[in-house]
Each structure stands twice: as structure tokens, then as C-alpha cells.
Amino acid sequence: MSSLLEVKNLKTYFKTDRGLVKAVDGVSFYIDEHEIVGLVGESGCGKSVTMLSTVQLIPTPPGIIADGKVLFEGVDLLQYQAKGEEMSVIRGGKIAMIFQEPMTSLNPVLTVGRQITETLELHLKMDSRSARKRAAELLNLVGIPDAEDRLDSYPHQSSGGMRQRIMIAIALSCNPKILIADEPTTAVDVTTQAQLLELMQELVNRLNTSLVIVTHNLGVVARYAERIYVMYAGRIVESGLSDDIFLNPLHPYTIGLLKCVPQLGETKSDRKLVPISGLPPNLIDMPQSCAFLPRCSYHVEKCQLEVWPELHAVGKDHFVSCYVDTRENQ
């Protein structure tokens, strides 16, 4: 059975006056129907750029999608013009996104209602009256009280958490097949984070939408994602079922991530939190060898001599890109 979304060898580069930044350098992954997938990695690892590339939202003067295929329902989206009719149908209608900053992601001069109804009118061809009714229903769905009044209000009159809910309402308004949530909870407080994540999980289950959560926060994906991709320096370094990744991490980077995460029930004497040494890589002039090498405590001589390893299977559905079998050292 073919996947809903299949990305093959995606490469997105940025031309800057300091050189070519290889933000995404050969990324392949898939999303099936009705599943929640996490895309995890530190700031600058290319996870946001990856998802933005699938719907061609990368600004193309400095950016360029250099290679790869984005197969949605079997059709390669990259063959379409970024500003063309076909992509317009896909965006919002089949693949929807919500972004990190609720405070700046809504247009300040348009009413909340208008920003919801315009997608309904565009993708579902609704007339303004039914669109407005549906918009009120959507606001109720995401848990916003007084939906009718809220429709006529402006974004600045709502709090950050509410604006994010409005974004979710807009994104889900046309029943997309995939919802991409790009750092959806980074800019809100802890309590709101939990509420938003619960809401998203409930809604995607109800509407049979797939959800991709892009985040640097392991805690978020641990609870909600069924499968996880770990990214580093523009590539996927480990992928697998959520349980496998957390209970049996294999890539040194993933291991490092989990080592610096405190666990419930641990006391001070149980374990020291160990941060990953070194700095994030400079994505210009990357060496051919493994990008994690400078920070890796498992490396062997082969790592310096060979190119960055390909992902290989280590168990069912568990892939890792490393020359070392880290299970021996644990």
C-alpha cells in the first residue's frame, strides 16, 4: 500500500553571500493515512525547511529545491509551479500547516471570521452564509467560547493560546489529509501547550487526518507520535516507532538527546544529565563525512574516512545512519 505522502531524497539549498547552505541534504520519509509522526531535531537541523519544501513555501530567491520528489497520493508536487493553480488546491485543501508564532501568524487587519471563511469559500466553494456558519462550528470545535462574537473580532483581541486554536481551526477547516504543525507549542506556556496538543490529537483522530509534529521538544513527540524521525544537519539520522526510539535509541545523537533529558521519578543520585558537547554544525562547507562526528563519543576510525553513512535497518522499521553498533557500548 503506497503512502499518502512520500518524500524521496529531498534537497533544499539556500544561496547566501557566505556560501551555499545545504539546509536539507537528501531527506526521505513517508506519512501514511491516520497517523501521527514526529520530526525531531535541534534548531537549524532543517526540519522546518523540510516540511515547508513539501508544499513549496520556501522563498525562492535565496532558496532552491535542488533535488527530490514529493509524492502526494502518487503525484510529484515539485513538478508544479510554486504559485500555480495546482499547489493552491493542495495547500490548505489537502495539506495544511500551522506555525510557531501565533502572535504574528494571523493578519491583523482582517477579522478572525474572514480568515476562516476565505479558505472555506476557496476550497469548499461555500457561499458566505454557510461559510460563516461553518466557521462558527469550527471555533466551537477547537474550544473557543462565544464563537459568533469571536468571528467578528480581530486577532489582537485574542490571546496567544486562542490564536493558535484559531490557526488550528483554519488549518482543519477544509478537512485536509495532512496537518503539518511546525513547532506548534514552542511559543506558548506549558499549560496551553498541553491543551493544544490534546486538542490536536483529538481532532486528527476525529477527522482522520494525519499529523506531522515538527519540534525540538522530545516530550511533545514522546506522548503523541506513533513514529519518529530524528534529523541532524539536514539529514535523517534515525527513524522508527516511537517506543523503539525512546527505549532503544541507536544513533549517538539520539542517545545524547535522551541522556540530557530528566525522567520522572529519577533523583539526583540516579543519573547525571549529560549535555551533548560541541556546537551545532555550520551548514556551509560541510565535510563529506558524518556531520555528527565532532560531537560523537562513539566514533571509530571508519567514521573519519567514509562518507556520511546511509540509513540501514536495525530491526523492523527501525533505521539508523551510523557505522557503529552503539548497543555494545550501552
Partner 1 sequence: MTAYIVRRLMLGVVILLLVTLLVFLAMRLLPGDPLIIFISQSQVEVYSPEQLAELRHEYGLDKSLPMQYISWIGNILRGDMGKSIVLGQDVGYLISKRLPVTIYFGALSFIVSAFLGIIFGVICALRRGKWIDSVVTVLANIGITLPAFWLGILLMFVFSLTLHWLPTGGYVPPTESLGQSLRAAIMPVICLSLFSIASLTRQTRSAMLEVVSQDYIRTAWSKGLRERVIIYRHTIKNAMIPVITILGLQVGLIFGGSVLIETVFQIPGMGRLLANSLFSHDYQIVQAGTLVIAVVVVLSNLIVDISYGWFDPRIRYG
Partner 2 sequence: MPNNVANTVEPAAPPEIAPAQSEFRRVMRVFFGRKLAVVGLALIVFLIITAIFAPWLAPYPPNDIDMAQTLAKPSAEHWLGTDNLGRDILSRIIYGARTSMIIAIGATAVSVILGEALGLIAAHFGGIVFQIIMRFIDALMAVPMLLVALIMASLLGGGAKNVILALGVGMLSVHARMMCAQALSVKQNDYILAARAIGMGNLRMMFLEIVPNAFPALVVVITVGLGAVILAEAGLSFLGVGVMPPYPAWGGMISEGYKYILSNPVLALSPGVAIMMVVFGFNMMGDGLRDALDPRLRGVI
Q: Which residues bind partner 1 (CB under 8 A)?
A: 55, 57, 61, 83, 85, 87-93, 96-97, 99, 101, 104-110, 118-119, 122-123, 153-154, 156-157, 167, 170
Residue among 41 and 92 whose Cβ is closer to partner 2 = 41
| Min dist. Cβ of residue 99 to partner 2 (A) | 19
Burial of 57: CB neighbours in 10 Å, binned 0-12, 13-18, 19+: middle
The sign of the dihedral angle between the CA atoms of 219, 6, 88, 49 is positive
Residues contributing to the site for partner 2 (CB under 8 A): 16-18, 41-43, 190, 193-194, 216-219, 222-223, 246, 256-257, 260-264, 275-280, 295
Cα–Cα distance measured from residue 176 to residue 96, given in angstroms and rounded to the nearest whole number:
6
Please give the DSSP secondary-structure letter assigned to residue 298: S
Residue 167 binding result from partner 2, partner 1, none, given CB thresholds of 5 to 8 Å by partner type = partner 1
Q: Which of 182, 140, 189, 186 is nearest to 165 (CA)?
A: 140
Residue among 262 and 287 whose Cβ is closer to partner 2 = 262
| Min dist. Cβ of residue 216 to partner 2 (A) | 6
| Min dist. Cβ of residue 10 to partner 1 (A) | 18
Grid cell listed for 310: 546511509
Cα–Cα distance measured from residue 47 to residue 135, given in angstroms and rounded to the nearest whole number:
31
Residue among 94 and 251 whose Cβ is closer to partner 1 = 94
| Min dist. Cβ of residue 73 to partner 2 (A) | 33
Grid cell listed for 102: 501565533
Residue among 29 and 224 whose Cβ is closer to partner 2 = 224
The residue type of 233 is A
Cβ count near 269 (within 10 Å)? 6
